[in-house]
Structure 1
Amino acid sequence: MDSHVVMILLGLLNALHLGSGGSMQAMEGRYSKPTCVNIPRQLSLCQDIGYSKMRMPNLLDHETFREVQTQSLTWMPLVGTSCHEDVKLFLCSLFTPVCLDRPIYPCRSFCEEVKRSCEPVMAQYCFPWPDMLRCDNYPEDNNLCITAQMGNTNYTNNTAAVSNTGKERLMDVYTQCRTDAPASLILEYFCNAEFVIRVKIDKVRDSSDGKKYIANPKKRKIYKKGSLKKRDLNKLTFFATEGSFCNCNIITKSTDFYLVMGKKTKSNKLIMTFAHTWVTTKEFRYATRRFKKTDCNKL
């Protein structure tokens, strides 16, 4: 973010900062009231953005730096695609909002512009535009919201310039299929999923809707049932996405269990929004044990 953007915001709100002195708590510290703190060096996404202090909790309701860092790392490769010239400005306005006496959100039109340019890139790598960035969360254009700084150019075509190495890196990050996800991410997907099931896969097939994964209904454990009916549970067929360009290469027909999360469409198709190999790592075991105890309203 350029320093002149910050100066504009400061001028709008008479440069009234939060807090007094901006001392930083430990990375594990939780902020329940608006506080002005230094942007940690660990937050790689939002370094060199024209200001050094941020508001906590941030505009995504993250109350600890660990939450901010974990979530922000996911977006680093997208910024590298230059899908939109101001994608970093948009993300940092939410992850590390400028420290003023009131929250300053991106304008709705700014969000819609970034989404229009970057959502197709994300879709290529099985990463949907998340609910936490829904554009109707943000205000209509006014003098107290952040607008795009580089005009209304559509940058989607820039994705063609991404190298093969860059695409592989994006696939590693922007896929819903994981083998080593942190507990915080697993619990976030758990809360956002309509159903959560542990299964064994009997068949993997190609279809016009993408890869199709057929599970053994007798070897399953339900953690969240959602709107699944008996017929759904007796015929467990998942799709990695509704597009043929996506698949989940970690899942194969085997004797291994997988954790599968997803949603049910109006046409009764089960869409897989997250899948993880069933492992015995500390993070994975902690997450699965927290399923029944997690208050999703507080995540």
Structure 2
Amino acid sequence: MQNLFPKLWIFIAAVLLLPLLKAAEYEYYTWKPESDGRRQQCIDIPEDLRLCFNVGYKQMVLPNLLEHETIAEVKQQAGSWVPLVHKACHPGTQVLLCSLFAPVCLDRPIPPCRWLCEAVRDSCTPIMQAFGFPWPEMLNCSKFPKGDVCISMNTTNSDAMDKTTGVSSVCPPCDNEMNTDTILEHMCGSEFAIKTKIKEVEIDNLDRKIILQKRRKPVKLGNLDKQELKKLVLYLKNGADCPCQQLENLKNHYLIMGRGVGRQYILTGIHKWDKSSKEFKKALKNLKSHKCPAFESVFK
């Protein structure tokens, strides 16, 4: 079967603990689509399907709404989205994604409501843009129904979402800086990583331009050659106004990660180089042995 997705490199780095949604947070509306002739099957959601395990129901249906026919294909693609859920950019992110990747086991898969897609899109797009990614076509909200044939969230949660989006005020590449999993996920989503100090930070329209000190120690160069490393200037996309404590302290050494987007190099993660931190030491120790997921990327 032809893969529907382009690719996802995490853009976003960051990570850790979006409270899992309970079954009571879903509302299921009547849906009676025409059968496409394919045999539907219900299976238990496996524990290693991190995106949707413990999402609030135990069984999912295949093929899913993204035309994945095997659980292996689902796991390969769904894992790319875990960092976005961990960013907690909207309380309904996991509901939206799991309704597509792991639809609840009913007579037929039920699509998400358009309003839910639009709410998640509006809250999460700024986070994605910080890493140079657009909102993907696979989540084109106009494809989803407006009303009575879709998965939504209950009224209580909807009211709560109107009051807060859950978006962190910290610039996305700057948060959770001393968490091992975050550092490794940032690394997996980056093309290169270096140890260096920051010389100065300038505002460049809506971005921040990060000028590095001359002394730069490679940790992971990827496709970046030595000449490019010498000239390297990074941009914190849409970061002119959001807080980034690391960029306010120019005395420290930092583990700085990034990747090329167009003609710019985008900052994807920045962590204080602090070997007194057990989390940081653990991340460095596991860096070479850590296996980054070989995802087909979802964003282009």
Q: TM-score range by the shorter chain?
A: 0.5 to 0.7
Distance 1:226 1:96, change over 3 A: same
8 Å contact kept, 2:200–2:210: yes
The corresponding residue for 1:185 is: 182
The corresponding residue for 1:239 is: 235
Paired with 2:84 and 2:198, the residues of 1 have a C-alpha distance of 33
Selected match of 1:53 from 39, 43, 59:
59
The corresponding residue for 2:244 is: 248
Paired with 1:3 and 1:105, the residues of 2 have a C-alpha distance of 8
The corresponding residue for 2:255 is: 259
Matched residue type, 2:190? A
Per the TM alignment, residue 134 of structure 1 is displaced from its structure 2 partner at its CA by 4.2
Question: 1:227 aligned to 2:233?
Answer: no
Distance 1:110 1:230, change over 3 A: farther
Paired with 1:289 and 1:222, the residues of 2 have a C-alpha distance of 16
8 Å contact kept, 1:213–1:239: yes
Matched residue type, 2:74? L
8 Å contact kept, 1:209–1:244: yes
Per the TM alignment, residue 245 of structure 1 is displaced from its structure 2 partner at its CA by 4.8
SS of corresponding position for 2:194: strand
8 Å contact kept, 1:176–1:274: yes
Distance 1:73 1:284, change over 3 A: farther
C-alpha RMSD of matched pairs (Å):
4.8
Selected match of 1:273 from 258, 268, 271:
268
Selected match of 1:292 from 266, 288, 292:
288
SS of corresponding position for 1:234: helix
Distance 1:70 1:105, change over 3 A: same
Per the TM alignment, residue 244 of structure 1 is displaced from its structure 2 partner at its CA by 4.2
Question: 1:93 aligned to 2:99?
Answer: yes
1:90-169 residue pairs with structure 2 within 5 A?
90-94=96-100, 96-99=102-105, 114=117, 118-125=120-127, 128=130, 134-136=136-138, 147-150=144-147, 166=164
1:23-38 residue pairs with structure 2 within 5 A?
30=48
TM (normalized to structure 1)?
0.59
Matched residue type, 1:74? H
Paired with 2:260 and 2:80, the residues of 1 have a C-alpha distance of 30
Per the TM alignment, residue 15 of structure 1 is displaced from its structure 2 partner at its CA by 6.6
The corresponding residue for 1:154 is: none
The corresponding residue for 2:28 is: 3
Per the TM alignment, residue 202 of structure 1 is displaced from its structure 2 partner at its CA by 1.9
8 Å contact kept, 2:171–2:244: no
8 Å contact kept, 1:59–1:97: no
SS of corresponding position for 1:250: helix
Per the TM alignment, residue 215 of structure 1 is displaced from its structure 2 partner at its CA by 1.5
Per the TM alignment, residue 240 of structure 1 is displaced from its structure 2 partner at its CA by 0.8
Q: Which has the higher contact order (CA 8 A, sep 6+)?
A: 2
The corresponding residue for 2:66 is: none
Pairs aligned (count): 245
Of the structure 1 ranges 206-215 and 52-61, higher mean CA displacement relative to structure 2 is found in 52-61
Which stretches in structure 2 are left out of the alignment for 5+ residues? Answer: 1-25, 62-70, 149-157, 296-300
Per the TM alignment, residue 276 of structure 1 is displaced from its structure 2 partner at its CA by 2.0
Distance 1:134 1:265, change over 3 A: closer
Paired with 2:138 and 2:242, the residues of 1 have a C-alpha distance of 27
The corresponding residue for 2:9 is: none
The corresponding residue for 2:21 is: none
Per the TM alignment, residue 226 of structure 1 is displaced from its structure 2 partner at its CA by 2.9
Paired with 1:100 and 1:285, the residues of 2 have a C-alpha distance of 47
SS of corresponding position for 1:193: coil
Paired with 2:283 and 2:77, the residues of 1 have a C-alpha distance of 19
Identity %: 23
Of the structure 1 ranges 93-102 and 273-282, higher mean CA displacement relative to structure 2 is found in 93-102
8 Å contact kept, 1:125–1:171: no
Paired with 2:104 and 2:281, the residues of 1 have a C-alpha distance of 37
